Structure 1
Amino acid sequence: MADREERRNLLDGEAERNGGGGLRTMAAICNPERWPHRIVVLILMCFLGFGDYFCYDNPSALQQQVKQDMELSTSGFMQLYAWYSWPNVVLCFLGGFLLDRVFGIRLGTIIFSLFVCIGQVIFAAGALADAFWLMVLGRFVFGIGGESLAVAQNTYAVSWFKGKGLNLVFGLQLSMARLGSTVNMNVMGLVYDSIRKLRDSSGSTTLGITLMIASATCVFSLICALVLGYLDKRAERILNKEACSTGEVIKLTDVKDFPFSLWLIFIICVGYYVAIFPFIGLGQVFFIEKFNFSSVEASAINSIVYIISAPASPLLGLVVDKTGKNITWVLMAVLITLASHMMLAFTFWNPWIAMCLMGVSYSLLACALWPMVAFVVADHQLGTAYGFMQSIQNLGLALISMAAGGILDSRGYLFLEVFFCACICIALIAVVLLYFFDLLKGGELNLSTSARAKLQKDSLSHSE
């Protein structure tokens, strides 16, 4: 009763400070326990990562323009993606620690948003100054904030919505991230063309102005981080709740205890994603050169993977939750992606078919693969396992991005597509090995949802 009375007094005080209007009018939008206030917080959470995802693929959306204006080879161009990934090889382990122990979630979110914003400005300034090294530096700074900001976004979601539609919130955040990537792919080329017409010339200055305009999305996300931090601090004071934490406990000594099945999951993760993100990074020119698409058409088809992922990820996640059979779904996703790359490499069929299939399989794999980590390691090792998985994923992306650029410069797109098919085949072999290894261990990873629930219930009864 005392706690409830104290909360009411605090809320009354907030209402008086905000203009003294009727408490009923203020309570719905200002009371952290009410849904109108939570919806405002949810909107801020969703837009928190919008600038990050919008600007991450700026190089892809402007591939032709960047290579032309900066006089780059494809290998040099892919450095812009590699240098984003390098800091995240380490920060996957340190990001959660910095948020929990050093900065706190609110200050940490603002700091990582600043890194994203400053990195994008440096990236644009490098184009304005016609200095490629400065653009690379900007991408490195941008990468320092990018991945850790996603961790902060998830932490806020758990703090505000745990037990109250959390899966829906995660789905909405993912959809907004994909929306940012999609808008970038379809808008940046048009912005560049508009500026070129206004200046009646192209060149690094036009590119720099275009990228500087894109940085406005990062500034907007930084404003969201500031407002969200204020609202979270206010809710903490009013509701007397504890400050939220990431829940990530990283112990590198746990790595030596990882089971063989987890290492196979790591191989699937790296083998699959290195055939997706570098391909999208290089996709615009591929569709222009092979299928004679215009720049606008190439950007549109290159973004279809993200467009499909926005609505498909929550729906496919629900399907996987209801059915189980995670290894079967992963195998299906890998096979569909392999078929997509082979169609793009060896046929002249309408590429929309292959890209739509790739969008569905990309969403399906994410829903089926990442949850399997929780099935093969103990709860106290989850933070380490996920951190290590993200770390080697970023290491693979950095190395393969540079390799893809070199292959394209020396051998062309056909050989590059064969290379991506080889990467998918490595993931396919790992999936097959995981299936048989899991079968020897009892087949828990590929159980249906009902069978897995029964097994967990029996295990709990046995332990009791």
Structure 2
Amino acid sequence: MWPGWRHDSVLHILRLSISRTYKMCIPRLLKASYYRFVVLFFNCLLTFGSYFCFDIPSVLQEQFQGNLTCPNGTQHNGTGHNGTLDCVEGLGMTPAQYNLLYAIYAWTNALVVVVAGFLIDKLGNRFGVFVFSLLTVLGSSIFALGSHFKGTPYLLPMMLTGRLLFGSGNGSLTIVQNRITAFWFKGKELALAFGLTLSFSRLGSVLNFFFTQQFESHFGIQWTLWGGTLLCALGFISAITVSMLDKVGMKQLGLDGVIQQESKKVRVQDVRRLPLRYWLLVLTIMFFYNGVFPFVADASKFIQDKYSGYSQQAAAYIAGAVYDSSLVLSAAVGILIDYVGLRGVFAVGCAVLTLPVFALLAFTFVPPLVSTIWLGITYSFAAASMWPSIPLVVPQATLGTAMGLATSVQMIGIGLSNLIVGHILGTKSSELKIPLWRWQQMMIFMLANTIVCIVTSVSLNVVDRKQGGTLNRTTKRSPVEHEDRQPADAAPLLSDEPGNDGSVN
């Protein structure tokens, strides 16, 4: 130490250095376009683990519906061919009870997300990501704990309670995720950003379909469910990180106080101001997803029952191809839609092109991989065109409420569909092989939903055309025109144009 230097002087200089570095680097980082992609990365991780957990029952349907005990020498672990003819040791659920696991998730979402969306609008994104990511961890923990009570009256109530809490968190967490994405990317690469969040979420689903069955065969169903809980904890860590990034970014841009003031103005009565285009868009989303999610929930079992020569693991891979396709395509589809617009046209096209998928599954023996890949492609375009359209037709101040209502209606439809599918497939026993005619009736039900989706999407385009054609206009080619047509309280856009200093457009 040099003579005359005091220890506290050194600390003071160090603090000044850190402070100056912070003040110089953070605003510079915010001015750069890639700051919002840093936010996006951690935002994407919010739902990675929860999407993994969501479809674990789909992969392990045989184990969920399997017998409590098997005679010695007859147990089947799902790795051989024609496994549905052998005894599978599991939790002993009936098809109706199994589908209830998905239905309770959907119904919970339907009830909770509306209130959650309003609370997010009032209290902010940081409140939402913390509370709802914590709920996914608690819900998945109770769900995993319930599996230890097989053969007792506590099994189903505990697992339903777990799915209830998990659904309360995951559906609401998706709203916060979409709200953060819309704030940082509205007027920019909006469809790309939504596509990337979907890709990360579906990466969790894809890894579930690839590895869960193998993990279960080595470690059992209980440890498999606890592994999913651990991934949900990763989402909780990401929630804390994205909260910090969002807070720093908004504070440096001088928007934190502005957003809080706008949030105070949000009222429940604002729901009445949501336009007709919004409600048609919500119905289009609901009827499209009514065909996708209930099918994926039962696809692994369907493939084993209808097509010969598929093991449980192979069937899970084929069912997971729906998510594989969306994982690969979502980002590219988002870029395409950002460039060409035509969101309403894509919505119609997705519904029309989904019709042959369920027709092939119902009436032919075309290899199921063809249908699942096909469905994954249409699902990718639907997700990248429908959900990013919501911020374009509602004010930013009420976006959380609008997203909550959309998710609620979607989950009401999916919940009803799961109950109907459970009734179609049988409700009285955990029979290992479901008759083919029941599966055919299920596919006809999916076809009916898709036809209604076509009707609502066509109506959406007609109304949108009369009101300026917002949905079919690109944000890439005409940003000035796009912003001029936004509601007065729409989201501020982060600018990375020269001379704007990272301020609001």
- Bin of the TM-score, shorter chain as denominator length: 0.7 to 0.9
In the other structure, the counterpart of 1:88 is 109
Q: 1:416 aligns with which of 423, 437, 442?
A: 442
CA shift in 2, pair 1:334/1:228, >3 Å: closer
Q: How does 1:88-167 map to 2 (within 5 A)?
A: 88-102=109-123, 104-130=124-150, 131-157=155-181
Q: Aligned equivalents of 1:402 and 1:381: distance in 2? A: 32
In the other structure, the counterpart of 1:179 is 203
Report SS of the residue matched to 1:70. Answer: coil
Q: Which amino acid in 2 is paired with 1:143?
A: G
Report SS of the residue matched to 1:348. Answer: coil
Q: How does 1:184-333 map to 2 (within 5 A)?
A: 184-195=208-219, 206-230=220-244, 242=256, 251-256=267-272, 260-292=276-308, 293-333=310-350
CA shift in 2, pair 1:327/1:360, >3 Å: same
In the other structure, the counterpart of 1:47 is 45
CA shift in 2, pair 1:135/1:443, >3 Å: same
Report SS of the residue matched to 2:92. Answer: coil
Report SS of the residue matched to 2:256. Answer: coil
Is the helix fraction higher in 1 or 2?
1
In the other structure, the counterpart of 1:3 is none
Q: How does 1:370-385 map to 2 (within 5 A)?
A: 370-373=387-390, 384-385=401-402
Q: Aligned equivalents of 1:408 and 1:88: distance in 2? A: 24
8 A Cα contact 1:327 1:445, kept in partner: no
Shift of 1:136: 0.5
Segment of structure 1 superposing worse, 120-129 or 66-75: 66-75
In the other structure, the counterpart of 2:469 is 444
Q: Which amino acid in 1 is paired with 2:197?
A: Q
Q: How does 1:396-415 map to 2 (within 5 A)?
A: 396-409=413-426, 412-415=438-441
In the other structure, the counterpart of 2:15 is 13
Identity among equivalent positions (%) equals: 31
CA shift in 2, pair 1:383/1:352, >3 Å: same
CA shift in 2, pair 1:284/1:429, >3 Å: same
Q: 2:407 aligns with which of 390, 402, 421?
A: 390
Residues 1:58 and 2:66 aligned together:
no
Shift of 1:170: 3.8
8 A Cα contact 1:155 1:244, kept in partner: no
Shift of 1:117: 0.5
TM-score (norm 1): 0.80
Q: 2:357 aligns with which of 340, 344, 347?
A: 340
8 A Cα contact 1:67 1:74, kept in partner: yes
Q: 1:75 aligns with which of 90, 96, 119?
A: 96
8 A Cα contact 2:121 2:400, kept in partner: no
Report SS of the residue matched to 1:71. Answer: coil
In the other structure, the counterpart of 2:454 is 428
Q: Aligned equivalents of 1:276 and 1:301: distance in 2? A: 14
8 A Cα contact 2:192 2:338, kept in partner: no
Q: Aligned equivalents of 1:447 and 1:161: distance in 2? A: 18
Q: Aligned equivalents of 1:214 and 1:29: distance in 2? A: 35
8 A Cα contact 2:142 2:162, kept in partner: yes
Q: Aligned equivalents of 1:29 and 1:168: distance in 2? A: 25
CA shift in 2, pair 1:277/1:71, >3 Å: same
CA shift in 2, pair 1:162/1:363, >3 Å: closer
Q: 1:351 aligns with which of 368, 372, 381?
A: 368
Larger RCO: Structure 1 or Structure 2 (Cα < 8 Å, ≥ 6 residues apart)? 2
Q: Aligned equivalents of 1:351 and 1:310: distance in 2? A: 19
Report SS of the residue matched to 2:358. Answer: helix
Q: Aligned equivalents of 2:393 and 2:410: distance in 1? A: 19
8 A Cα contact 1:81 1:398, kept in partner: yes
Shift of 1:400: 1.2
Q: Aligned equivalents of 2:51 and 2:383: distance in 1? A: 17
Shift of 1:398: 1.2
Q: Deviations over 1:251-278 (max 9, x none)?
A: 5545555555544333322211111001
Segment of structure 1 superposing worse, 84-93 or 57-66: 84-93
Report SS of the residue matched to 1:276. Answer: helix
Q: Aligned equivalents of 1:100 and 1:214: distance in 2? A: 30
Q: Aligned equivalents of 2:51 and 2:13: distance in 1? A: 36
